[in-house]
C-alpha cells in the first residue's frame, strides 16, 4: 500500500520580486540591475519627483552652483576682458535659476529609466509591516500595501539639525534649505568645515560674500593627503575666507537682521546668515524598523555585511543610509552589487573599496589610493612625482594655473599607489591615474605615463611631467 506523501509548504506569493525604497543613486542602481535581470520591481519615492537628495538638494544643485560661480570668477579675473568691462556680480537666486534647469533635466532623465525598464513607481512614505510587507502612505492620507520577496532600503540621508538651533528662523539654514536662500547676504558663517562646508565656503566667497568657516577639527578635510588639505586651506585663506579651527558652538541667536554664533571658547561671531553643515542623519526614523527587528545607530545609519544585507536576510541597504563613504558614485555601485547579491550572484565589492574622492571646492580636489601619511605609517618605500599646473601650456591658455598633480609610487616596483590632484577639473584628471592603478602586472607602473604620448597642450600632460619628476628622484 502506497504511503501518502506530505504536501510541501507552498511558496509565498508576493506582488513583486523586489521593492526598493528611495530613488537616489543607490535605489536606482538596485532597481535597474534587478529589472534588467527580468525581475518584477517596484520603487517607492516619498517626494513628487525621483532622484533623491543627490538630484534635488545635494550633488547636482550644489555642483551646478559651483560651476556658475567658477565661471563668474573666471570672467571677472580674466585679462581678456580687463580693459573693457565692469566687474560682474550675481545673486544666489539668479545662479540658482540655472541650477534648477539642471535639476529638472536630470529628473526627467531618471524618470525615463523607470518607465523604460517597466519598474512600477509609487509615491508616498514607506514603512514596514513585516519583512515582506510595506505600507505606503500618500500625501492625501490614502494607503497602499505592497509585498515582495526582497526589499532594499536606499532612503539616503538629511542634514543633521540639533534641536537647540532654530532652523525655522529665516536666516538659519542647513545644506538643504540653503538652496532656497532668497536674499543677498553680505556675510555668512558656515559651521562645519567638512566637504559640504568647504564647498559652500568656496561658492559664497566666489560671489564676494564675506565667509567665516568654523571647523571642529585642527585641519580641513583631514582624510585628505596633508599637502592637498594644506593647499585648500591656503587657497581659501588667500581668497579671504576666515577659518577658525578647533571650535564648537555653544549657542546660536537668530535676530531680525543677523545671526550671532557663540562659541565654547568664548568667541562671538555675527553675520547676515548661518549655514549649519555639521554631519548628516540617515533617513530611517519613518521606516518602522522595529517591526522587522532592525536597529539604526544614533545617526540613523544601518549596518550591512559585504553583500549589503542587513540583520534580516531579505532586506538590504545601500547609499548614505549605511554611512561611509556617502558618495553618489559609490551609492550607485553599491546598488548594483546589492542587486547581484539579491539575485544570488557573487558581489563585486572590491570595486567600491578604492573609490575616488571628488570635492567640488573652487578649485576642485580629487584623489584615489593611498596618502603620503598612510604610506609612511605603513613603512612603504614610496616616491613622489609632482607637476604644477602653472607650468602646463593648457593651464596657461585657460588661466587655470592654480594647483598641481601628485603621483605616489613604490620606488622599487614603480607601482602607482596614489593620485592626488588640486585644481580646475581635478575630478576629471584623477581618472587617468585611477585607470592605470587598476591594471594588472606591469601595466600599473609610473613608466606608463612616460612611455605614452599625451595630446599637447592638455591638462592630462601633467601625468607625464609628474612621472618624469618622480623618476628623477630615484637613485
The DSSP call for residue 415 is: B
CA distance 358 to 195: 9
Identical fold between 16-159+281-352 and 172-278: yes
Closest to 145 measured CA to CA, from 161, 159, 124, 166: 124
The per-residue pLDDT for 2 is: 46
- pLDDT at residue number 3: 47
CA 76 remoteness from chain centre? 29
Q: Are 385 and 406 in contact (CB under 8 A)?
A: yes
What integer pLDDT is reported at residue 123 of this predicted model?
95
Q: How many residues does the chain have?
A: 475
CATH class of 172-278: alpha beta
- CATH assignment, 16-159+281-352: 3.50.50.60
What pLDDT score does 82 carry?
A: 66
Question: Could you tell me which residues are beta bridge partners of residue 152?
Answer: 20, 316
**Which grid coordinates are listed for 68?**
556658475
Q: State the cell numbers at 114.
A: 523607470
Domain residue ranges in the chain: 16-159+281-352, 172-278, 363-471
34: which 3 cell numbers?
A: 534587478
Are residues 24 and 52 in contact, defined by beta-carbon separation less than 8 angstroms?
A: yes
DSSP 335-398: HHHHHHHHTTPPP-GGGGTSPPEEE-SSS-EEEEE--HHHHHHTT--EEEEEEEGGG-HHHHHH
Residue carrying the nine cell digits 598612510? 374
pLDDT in tens, the chain (475 residues): 444 445 544 457 999 999 999 999 999 999 999 999 999 999 999 998 898 888 888 888 889 889 989 988 888 887 777 666 666 777 888 888 888 888 889 989 998 999 999 999 999 999 999 999 999 999 999 999 999 999 999 999 999 999 999 999 999 999 999 998 988 999 999 999 999 999 999 999 999 999 999 999 999 999 999 999 999 999 999 999 999 999 999 999 999 999 999 999 999 999 999 999 999 999 999 999 999 999 999 999 999 999 999 999 999 999 999 998 888 888 999 999 999 999 998 776 665 567 899 999 999 999 999 999 999 999 999 999 999 999 999 999 988 999 999 999 999 999 999 999 999 999 999 999 999 998 988 889 999 999 999 999 999 999 999 999 999 999 9
Summarize the annotated binding site for NAD(+) as residue ranges. Answer: 192-199, 279
Output the nine-digit C-alpha cell for 367: 584623489
Q: What does the pLDDT read at residue 40?
A: 97
Cα–Cα distance between 146 and 129 in angstroms, integer? 10
Model pLDDT, residue 10 = 47
Known binding-site residues for FAD equal 45-54, 63, 155-157, 320
118: left (phi over 0), alpha (psi -120 to 50) or beta: left
pLDDT score recorded for residue 11: 56
Grid coordinates representing 160 are 543633521
pTM of the complete model: 0.91
CATH node for 363-471: 3.30.390.30
Q: Are the CB atoms for 220 and 303 separated by under 8 Å?
A: no
Binding-site annotation: residue ranges = 45-54, 63, 155-157, 192-199, 279, 320
- Measured over the CA atoms of residue 221, residue 226, residue 231 and residue 234, the dihedral's sign is positive
Amino acid at each position: 500500500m502506497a504511503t501518502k506523501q506530505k504536501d510541501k509548504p507552498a511558496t509565498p506569493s508576493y506582488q513583486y520580486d523586489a521593492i526598493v525604497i528611495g530613488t537616489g543613486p543607490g535605489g536606482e542602481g538596485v532597481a535597474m540591475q534587478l529589472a534588467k535581470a527580468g525581475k518584477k520591481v517596484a520603487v517607492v519615492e516619498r517626494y513628487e519627483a525621483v532622484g533623491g537628495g543627490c538630484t534635488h538638494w545635494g550633488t547636482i544643485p550644489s555642483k551646478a552652483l559651483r560651476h556658475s560661480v567658477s565661471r563668474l570668477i573666471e570672467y571677472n579675473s580674466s585679462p581678456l576682458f580687463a580693459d573693457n568691462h565692469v566687474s560682474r556680480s550675481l545673486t544666489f537666486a539668479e545662479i540658482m535659476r540655472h541650477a534648477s534647469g539642471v535639476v529638472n533635466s536630470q529628473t526627467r532623465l531618471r524618470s525615463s529609466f523607470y518607465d523604460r525598464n517597466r519598474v512600477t513607481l509609487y509615491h508616498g512614505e514607506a514603512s514596514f509591516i513585516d519583512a515582506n510587507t510595506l505600507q505606503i502612505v500618500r500625501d492625501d492620507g490614502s494607503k497602499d500595501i505592497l509585498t515582495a520577496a526582497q526589499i532594499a532600503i536606499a532612503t539616503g540621508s538629511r542634514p543633521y539639525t540639533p534641536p537647540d538651533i532654530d532652523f525655522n528662523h529665516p536666516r538659519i539654514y542647513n545644506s538643504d534649505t540653503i538652496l532656497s536662500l532668497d536674499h543677498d547676504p553680505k556675510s555668512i558663517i558656515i559651521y562645519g568645515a567638512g566637504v559640504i562646508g568647504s564647498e559652500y565656503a568656496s561658492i559664497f566667497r566666489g560671489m564676494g560674500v564675506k565667509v567665516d568657516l568654523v571647523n571642529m577639527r585642527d585641519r580641513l578635510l583631514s582624510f585628505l593627503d596633508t599637502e592637498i588639505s594644506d593647499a585648500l586651506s591656503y587657497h581659501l585663506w588667500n581668497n579671504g575666507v576666515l577659518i577658525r579651527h578647533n571650535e564648537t558652538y555653544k549657542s546660536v541667536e537668530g535676530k531680525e537682521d543677523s545671526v550671532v554664533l557663540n562659541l565654547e571658547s568664548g568667541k562671538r561671531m555675527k553675520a547676515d546668515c548661518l549655514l549649519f553643515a555639521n554631519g548628516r542623519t540617515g533617513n530611517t526614523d519613518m521606516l518602522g524598523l522595529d517591526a522587522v527587528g532592525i536597529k539604526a545607530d544614533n545617526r540613523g545609519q544601518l549596518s550591512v555585511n559585504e553583500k549589503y544585507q542587513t540583520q534580516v536576510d531579505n532586506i538590504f541597504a545601500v547609499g548614505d543610509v549605511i554611512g561611509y563613504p556617502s558618495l553618489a558614485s559609490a551609492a550607485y555601485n553599491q546598488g548594483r552589487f546589492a542587486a547581484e547579491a539579491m539575485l544570488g550572484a557573487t558581489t563585486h565589492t572590491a570595486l567600491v573599496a578604492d573609490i575616488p574622492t571628488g570635492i567640488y571646492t573652487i578649485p576642485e580636489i580629487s584623489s584615489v589610493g593611498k596618502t603620503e601619511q598612510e604610506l609612511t605609517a605603513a613603512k612603504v618605500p614610496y616616491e613622489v612625482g609632482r607637476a604644477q599646473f602653472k607650468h602646463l601650456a593648457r593651464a596657461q591658455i585657460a588661466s587655470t594655473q592654480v594647483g598641481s598633480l601628485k603621483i605616489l609610487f613604490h620606488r622599487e616596483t614603480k607601482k602607482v599607489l596614489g593620485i592626488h590632484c588640486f585644481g580646475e577639473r581635478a575630478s576629471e584628471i584623477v581618472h587617468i591615474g585611477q585607470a592605470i592603478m587598476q591594471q594588472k602586472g606591469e601595466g600599473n607602473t609610473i613608466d606608463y605615463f612616460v612611455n605614452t604620448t599625451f595630446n599637447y597642450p592638455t591638462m592630462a600632460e601633467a601625468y607625464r611631467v609628474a612621472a618624469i619628476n618622480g623618476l628623477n628622484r630615484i637613485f
